[in-house]
Chain A
């Protein structure tokens, strides 16, 4: 399980970075237009400070990609990774991830330079959100191989989406805090709702995967034994995700106190990383391959 640390870090960091942009988009899209008709929504000094610190999710996503390189045995051939787009789930994932990160980066640049404002900015952030959602889903699809039945279910992308929202809203709250942006009621609701949905999807996805693993076996491994051995980490991950949700509620009631924001980020990151380790541990081949 821990031999997949580079992949676990990739799927943790990249999903959290993507999730932060998804939550940011939800925040921007739910904001009302300014009363000043010469300014669109999301204008103003606070918004510009916030967009500066949206570099943080970009950095976290890129850090995830860098971690993935440590998984490879031959990094120098990395550019061939797009050779099998359309057939290889991994090629598809990397392509969609690169496009999503590039689109987010371009959005970030255009907003900082005030090239796009108002309604145009809202359209652009919606495109960013769609790209990032696709990236997160493709991270889940990448593991859906018919010969690994415990991974070949809807639980894989469901978990990824959930974990991206859990970590993403925590990272977005950090950006809001560093930017000293006042959190509107709408933004606060967006953060809480995304945290709740994320937690439910993540824990639900883990639960589905656990149940499926428990009922399967191959000539090498009994799925029920695998599930029971992984249960402590699964419970730990679930507890961390629920604690992160609780800290999110506390955060909203404490006017975003720095220590609670930071604490929620740390707990969210740990919960997402543990959940990824559980995912890799529950790999059960249909045949006689011992994956880890």
Chain B
């Protein structure tokens, strides 16, 4: 069994969201549903002193993330029907729509905002790592689309050489689910679990 993983290079990403749009286009997703999201993360504040001088310690960096196809996926653990399952050959997590009851437990359990219940379709939906493209020897559409080459995809053993596992804010401690997302952090990125990093585009990504 090969475990596939994503690598995100924060030193390259410009936050253009081409990856997100490519995925929406390829998967024909409707308004309100996105499998890959670009989180705009901001740290610091802007202040005005007594003399009226304004100074800022604000920094911002983007984080492009879809499903992390975790080693101990919380969604797979809590799914009552086994609809959410991890492929034995690739390690990619996907939804068996013939079994999913749309209870939303996967959405509650996942700390990475990956699965969601699409009530129009009657089941959970999420990134499946473009499994059909991967089986044909191609890259996921988001990786192919990225103009800055900030996304990579391949065997976890190789991706892990390029970055650390899920190690930047606003992500939680990777030990919860061991996400297969390896990150090269940008200069301003804070470590995982640092609550001073805030997501400033929640209406877009949630």
A contacts, CB < 8 Å to B = 71-75, 77-78, 80-84, 87-91, 94, 145-148, 217-220, 283, 285-291
User: A81 and B81 in contact (CB under 8 A), knowing A147-B109, A288-B199?
Assistant: yes
Of the candidates A82, A89, A146, the one whose C-beta lies within 8 Å of that of B176 is A146
A291 neighbours in B (Cβ, 8 Å): 107-108
Interface flag for B99 (CB, 8 Å): yes
Distance in angstroms between the alpha carbons of A77 and B111 in the assembled complex: 26
B176 neighbours in A (Cβ, 8 Å): 146-147, 286-287
B169 neighbours in A (Cβ, 8 Å): 219
Interface flag for B202 (CB, 8 Å): yes
A288 neighbours in B (Cβ, 8 Å): 39, 111-113, 170-172, 199
State the 3 A-B residue pairs at the shortest beta-carbon distance, nearest first.
Answer: A73-B102, A287-B111, A219-B170
User: A148 and B109 in contact (CB under 8 A), knowing A80-B83, A88-B78, A288-B199?
Assistant: yes
Q: Which residue among A78, A288, A289 has the maximum number of chain B CB atoms within 10 Å of its CB?
A: A288
B101 near A73: Cβ-Cβ < 8 Å: yes
Interface flag for B186 (CB, 8 Å): no
Instruction: Give chain A nearest CB distance to B82 CB in angstroms.
Output: 4
B173 neighbours in A (Cβ, 8 Å): 286
How extensive is the interface on chain B, given as a class?
35 or more
A77 neighbours in B (Cβ, 8 Å): 81, 83, 98-101
B81 near A83: Cβ-Cβ < 8 Å: yes
Interface flag for B103 (CB, 8 Å): yes
Number of A-B contacts (CB under 8 A): 126
B117 near A73: Cβ-Cβ < 8 Å: yes
A90 neighbours in B (Cβ, 8 Å): 78, 80, 103, 105
A88 near B112: Cβ-Cβ < 8 Å: no
Interface flag for B177 (CB, 8 Å): yes
User: A220 and B199 in contact (CB under 8 A), knowing A74-B100, A88-B77?
Assistant: yes
Interface flag for B110 (CB, 8 Å): yes
Distance in angstroms between the alpha carbons of A78 and B122 in the assembled complex: 12
A285 neighbours in B (Cβ, 8 Å): 108, 111, 172
Distance in angstroms between the alpha carbons of A77 and B101 in the assembled complex: 5
Q: List 15 A-B contacts (CB under 8 A).
A: A73-B117, A73-B121, A77-B100, A78-B101, A80-B82, A80-B83, A80-B99, A82-B80, A84-B79, A84-B82, A145-B78, A217-B195, A218-B172, A288-B39, A289-B111
Instruction: Give chain B nearest CB distance to A285 CB in angstroms.
Output: 6
User: A71 and B103 in contact (CB under 8 A), knowing A287-B111, A287-B171, A289-B112?
Assistant: yes
Instruction: Give chain A nearest CB distance to B139 CB in angstroms.
Output: 25
Instruction: Give chain B nearest CB distance to A94 CB in angstroms.
Output: 7
B126-170 with Cβ < 8 A to chain A: 169-170
Instruction: Give chain A nearest CB distance to B111 CB in angstroms.
Output: 3
B110 neighbours in A (Cβ, 8 Å): 147, 287, 289
Instruction: Give chain A nearest CB distance to B104 CB in angstroms.
Output: 8
Interface flag for B74 (CB, 8 Å): yes
Of the candidates B80, B98, B170, the one whose C-beta lies within 8 Å of that of A91 is B80
User: A218 and B101 in contact (CB under 8 A), knowing A87-B77, A147-B74, A147-B109?
Assistant: no
Distance in angstroms between the alpha carbons of A204 and B169 in the assembled complex: 34
